Amino acid sequence: MFEQEDEWVSKTQMKKQMNDLQALGMELTKLSSDTLKKIGLDEELFEAIATYKKITSNSALKRQAQFIGRLMRDTNPAPIEAYLAKLRGDNTAHNAFLQRVEQARTRLLADDGAITQFMADFPQADAGKLRT
């Protein structure tokens, strides 16, 4: 009888989602234009953020913030959140990579045998630059 039902979302939950998207849009307003281009936002959202940065009137800022929030509803927030997390340094995979690099650097500085092992593992590396 009943076909597939959509998941029911309360009005409070919908408002929270919209406020979260608007807050995400406000985070974007703090970024430079070059950084925004790297995220790959759609043209209308990019222009709305650029306009927000030019406005000085408080009431106009509020209206523009709401407009950005409305545009964010049509945008997939996951790539934006991931990029912002990477900018903030919240990316655990990236942090783990940096820790491994730091540990390798520490080993290379402490032990000459580590340089020999590194060169065996990565023959394309420049040994002269590595030793200096």
Domains and CATH numbers, the chain: 11-90 (1.10.60.30), 91-132 (no CATH)
Using alpha carbons, list the distances in angstroms from residue 78 to 24, 64, 122: 11, 22, 36
pTM > 0.75:
no
Q: What is the pLDDT of residue 60?
A: 94
Alpha-carbon gap, residue 25 to 68, rounded angstroms: 6
Q: Flag whether pLDDT at 51 surpasses 80.
A: yes
- pLDDT tens digit sequence for 2-44: 455 567 878 898 899 889 999 999 999 999 888 888 888 889 9
Using alpha carbons, list the distances in angstroms from residue 88 to 4, 22, 81, 84, 121: 40, 19, 10, 6, 32
Q: What is the pLDDT of residue 93?
A: 73
Q: What is the pLDDT of residue 5?
A: 54
- pLDDT tens digit sequence for 56-112: 999 999 999 999 999 999 988 888 888 888 887 766 777 788 888 888 888 888 887
Q: Flag whether pLDDT at 1 surpasses 50.
A: no
Using alpha carbons, list the distances in angstroms from residue 96 to 89, 100, 101, 104: 11, 6, 9, 12
